[in-house]
């Protein structure tokens, strides 16, 4: 019987497959509308899996910051033609900056290009967070094993996820301890922040090594041996709907990747077949 709590966790193979499909499509797609649809799918998944308000704020901050930074950088440094300057920051005759760069401006096409790139990132970031929020750390061990990944790697990944919050809390305490002894974080062009980082790295690393040693001994004392076969209390069984969604996602991703590859072969003059003409048109306009 699968426990109610455990049932909330998805099969890690389903999650890994969905991530692979979304990642493949995020790379293969270029059309803004298709990428927007993919990003909406990823975002919908993340919203459905979101465990609370703090997680939602984290998601919004990550998406907002990545979109802003991509659009801002592309708006200034977009160098394809044609491009339309919306606003001139530094004319070409501006001493130093102007002569070095040939002038700086905000380009409309750059903003659009940045927005498209941020849709790629939004799709993968949202899907990645959704997977992390729905996966049981202990499910990773069974999932990795079923995917024939080495036990040692699977165990390290599981333990790292398990102890991540503890390490984060220790880093917070170490920083507080230094601040109470007079460490200042502000000012100094980041030098103080760097010093603070160094001062917490040693104790946090030492505590992590000590904990890793205990965790390894605790695992060994309960018969864990990376070279031996394990069984599982809850053998992985993908539900019918998970299998259907995963199959559709992987097939869709494979189809998009294949269409894109054929189109690129055609565009570069390496391969052309007249029967594929409608596919080339569809790929150019929709993919």
Partner 1 sequence: MTPAISWSGVRFRYAGAAREALRGIDLAAREGECVLLTGPTGCGKSTLLKTANGLIPRESAGRLEGRIEIGGRDAASIPSPALRSAVGFLFQNPEDQLLCGRVEDEVAFGPENLAEPPGVIAQRVEEALARASASAKRHSPCAELSGGEKQRVALASALALHPRVLALDEPTSQLDGRASREILRALAAMRGEQGLTLLIAEHRVGRVLPLADRLVVLEEGTIRGVFPRGRFGEAMPLLRELGLEAPGDEFPAPHAAPISIRAEKPALVRFRGLRHRYAKESPPALDDVTAELRAGEILALMGPNGAGKSTLLGLLAGLLRPQEGQIEWFGQVRPRLSLSSLTGKVGFLFQNPDLMLSAGTIRDEVALGPRLLRRPPAEAREAVARALEGVGLAPLAGRNPFSVSRGERLRVALAALLACAPRVLLLDEPTAGLDRGLRQRLLADLRRWVDEAPEERGIVLCTHDTGSALQCADRALVLREGRTAALGPAAGVLAGAGQGALEDLEPAPARMAP
Residues binding partner 1 (CB under 8 A): 1, 3-6, 136-138, 158-159, 162, 165-166, 170, 173-174, 176-184, 198-200, 202-204, 206-207, 210-211, 214-225, 228-235
**To which residue do tokens 């999932």 refer?**
143
Query: Nearest to residue 25, comparing CAs of 248, 239, 243?
Result: 248
Question: Is-contact 164 34, C-beta < 8 A?
Answer: no
CB atoms within 10 A of CB 129: 21
> Exposed, middle or buried by CB within 10 Å (0-12, 13-18, 19+), for 262?
middle
Least distance (Å) from partner 1 to the CB of residue 206?
Answer: 6
Least distance (Å) from partner 1 to the CB of residue 54?
Answer: 10
* Residue number with CB closer to partner 1 (210 or 239): 210
Least distance (Å) from partner 1 to the CB of residue 161?
Answer: 8
Least distance (Å) from partner 1 to the CB of residue 239?
Answer: 18
* Residue number with CB closer to partner 1 (57 or 177): 177
* Residue number with CB closer to partner 1 (37 or 216): 216
* Residue number with CB closer to partner 1 (3 or 73): 3
Which DSSP category does 10 fall into?
Answer: P
CA of residue 9 relative to chain centroid, distance: 19
* Residue number with CB closer to partner 1 (95 or 165): 165
CA of residue 244 relative to chain centroid, distance: 24
Query: Nearest to residue 215, comparing CAs of 166, 142, 150, 170?
Result: 166
Q: Which contiguous run of DSSP H or E holds residue 65?
A: helix 53-77
Least distance (Å) from partner 1 to the CB of residue 141?
Answer: 8
């Amino acid at each position: 019987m699968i426990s109610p709590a455990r049932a909330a966790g998805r099969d890690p193979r389903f999650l890994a497959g969905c991530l692979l499909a979304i990642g493949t499509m995020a790379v293969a797609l270029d059309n803004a509308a298709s990428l927007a649809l993919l990003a909406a799918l990823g975002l919908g998944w993340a919203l459905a899996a979101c465990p609370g308000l703090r997680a939602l704020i984290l998601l919004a901050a990550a998406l907002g910051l990545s979109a802003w930074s991509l659009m801002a950088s592309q708006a200034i440094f977009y160098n394809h033609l044609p491009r339309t300057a919306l606003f001139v920051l530094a004319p070409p005759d501006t001493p130093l900056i102007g002569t070095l760069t040939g002038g700086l401006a905000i380009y409309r096409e750059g903003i659009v290009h940045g927005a498209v790139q941020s849709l790629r990132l939004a799709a993968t970031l949202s899907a990645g967070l959704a997977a992390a929020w729905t996966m049981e750390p202990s499910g990773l061990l069974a999932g990795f094993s079923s995917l024939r990944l080495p036990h040692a790697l699977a165990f390290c990944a599981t333990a790292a996820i398990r102890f991540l919050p503890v390490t984060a809390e220790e880093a917070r305490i170490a920083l507080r301890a230094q601040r109470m002894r007079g460490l200042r974080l502000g000012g100094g062009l980041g030098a103080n922040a760097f010093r603070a980082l160094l001062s917490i790295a040693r104790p946090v690393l030492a505590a992590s090594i000590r904990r890793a040693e205990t965790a390894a001994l605790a695992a060994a004392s309960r018969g864990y041996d990376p070279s031996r076969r394990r069984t599982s209390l809850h053998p992985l069984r993908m539900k019918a709907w998970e299998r259907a969604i995963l199959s559709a996602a992987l097939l869709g991703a494979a189809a998009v990747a294949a269409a894109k590859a054929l189109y690129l072969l055609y565009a570069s003059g390496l391969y052309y077949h007249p029967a594929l003409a409608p596919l080339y048109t569809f790929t150019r306009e929709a993919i």
